[in-house]
């Protein structure tokens, strides 16, 4: 587990946070964009679906030039460059990163589809309401992720980062609720406030002071690590209580860390569509589903422990 966490941590340290990329500095790219933009005043308006997704003649020039230069590079076997921190993906229906959008939506659906299972299986178990909140937060997070990958703007980026952070934090919160078997409102309220305060400070800092990518990543890494530790403790407790599936949180966390590890291999997208980031989103789809199965199974098992005589 610490291996998983440590791995995650090293990985985060190794990821470059560069938002101007080698492609932006290419003379051919700069010339292309400049030349294209000069024609923007007399150019005919963009297709309706592009305008709907807030493409402008200028941003379309940027896209067209990325694609043109990339196609030329590929034709002669030259390496593909990144532009503005991203690979030059093929745009589909005005969607910037179609693969990441599809995978984000599927992740969101995994949360949504768990609603019934959580609602119907846990009757009065205290974990039930927290899992319902998890469904709402998870769905919101992946909705924001989909929107961000449809069109990358400062606002959609913030929504994506802030919701992702609350998701990471909420996993930690759920773990704490589980470890201490918090079943009264007062106790959970204290933990919730203890989590909410740093979150509010985090969001305020990023939105009011400085949108600092390095710091944001560190903050998520630290909370992610803490969450790994808490779920490790859940596993150990479950092992001591001879829960037959005590190992599941460990497996899920290691799988999540490994999936995140895909991000480190920042390879040029295959089929001009699937990059490491989209694969990380793809990998979490089954993991989300397995988390819910585990969380519900675990809560049921816990309820069963409470009153073994009644079975």
Ligand X SMILES: *[C@@H]1O[C@H](CO)[C@@H](O)[C@H](O)[C@H]1NC(C)=O
List contacts with ligand X (CB under 6 A): 32, 36, 61, 64-65, 68
Name the residue nearer to ligand X (CB basis): 32 or 262: 32
Name the residue nearer to ligand X (CB basis): 65 or 296: 65
- Extract long-range pairs of 102-106: CB within 8 Å, 24+ residues apart: 103/278, 103/281, 103/282, 103/285, 104/142, 104/143, 104/145, 104/146, 104/149, 104/281, 105/142, 105/146, 106/282, 106/285
Name the residue nearer to ligand X (CB basis): 33 or 219: 33
CB of 99 to ligand X, least distance (A): 23
CB of 272 to ligand X, least distance (A): 15
In 3D, which of 234, 278, 246, 233 has the Cα closest to residue 259?
Answer: 278
Name the residue nearer to ligand X (CB basis): 59 or 68: 68
CB of 254 to ligand X, least distance (A): 45
CB of 68 to ligand X, least distance (A): 4
CB of 96 to ligand X, least distance (A): 17
Burial class for 199, CB neighbours closer than 10 Å (0-12, 13-18, 19+): middle
CB of 117 to ligand X, least distance (A): 50
CB of 33 to ligand X, least distance (A): 8
Name the residue nearer to ligand X (CB basis): 72 or 181: 72
CA distances from 2 to 7, 10, 157, 253 (A): 8, 12, 30, 11
Name the residue nearer to ligand X (CB basis): 67 or 158: 67
Which residue has 């590890």 as its token pair? 261
Name the residue nearer to ligand X (CB basis): 14 or 42: 42
Distance CA 232, CA 256 (A): 14
Name the residue nearer to ligand X (CB basis): 75 or 208: 75
CB of 90 to ligand X, least distance (A): 14
């Amino acid at each position: 587990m610490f291996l998983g966490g440590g791995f995650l941590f090293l990985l985060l340290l190794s990821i470059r946070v560069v938002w101007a990329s080698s492609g932006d500095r290419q003379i051919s790219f700069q010339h292309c964009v400049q030349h294209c933009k000069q024609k923007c005043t007399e150019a005919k308006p963009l297709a309706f679906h592009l305008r709907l997704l807030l493409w402008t003649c200028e941003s379309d020039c940027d896209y067209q030039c990325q694609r043109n230069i990339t196609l030329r590079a590929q034709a002669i076997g030259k390496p593909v460059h990144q532009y503005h921190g991203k690979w030059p993906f093929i745009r589909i229906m005005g969607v910037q990163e179609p693969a990441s959008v599809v995978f984000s939506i599927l992740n969101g659906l995994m949360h949504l589809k768990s609603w019934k299972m959580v609602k119907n299986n846990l009757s009065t178990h205290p974990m039930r309401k927290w899992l319902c909140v998890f469904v709402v937060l998870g769905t919101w997070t992946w909705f924001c992720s989909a929107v961000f990958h449809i069109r990358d703007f400062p606002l959609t980026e913030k929504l994506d980062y802030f919701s992702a952070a609350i998701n990471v934090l909420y996993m930690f919160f759920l773990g704490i609720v589980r470890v201490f078997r918090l079943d009264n409102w007062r106790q959970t309220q204290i933990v919730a406030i203890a989590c909410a305060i740093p979150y509010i400070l985090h969001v305020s800092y990023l939105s009011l002071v400085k949108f600092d990518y390095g710091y944001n990543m560190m903050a998520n890494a630290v909370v992610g690590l803490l969450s790994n530790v808490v779920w490790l403790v859940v596993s150990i407790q479950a092992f001591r209580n001879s829960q037959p599936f005590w190992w599941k949180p460990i497996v899920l966390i290691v799988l999540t860390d490994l999936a995140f590890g895909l991000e480190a291999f920042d390879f040029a997208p295959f089929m001009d569509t699937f990059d490491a980031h989209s694969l990380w989103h793809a990998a979490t789809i089954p993991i989300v589903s397995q988390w819910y199965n585990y969380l519900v199974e675990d809560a049921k098992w816990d309820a069963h422990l409470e009153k073994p005589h009644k079975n």
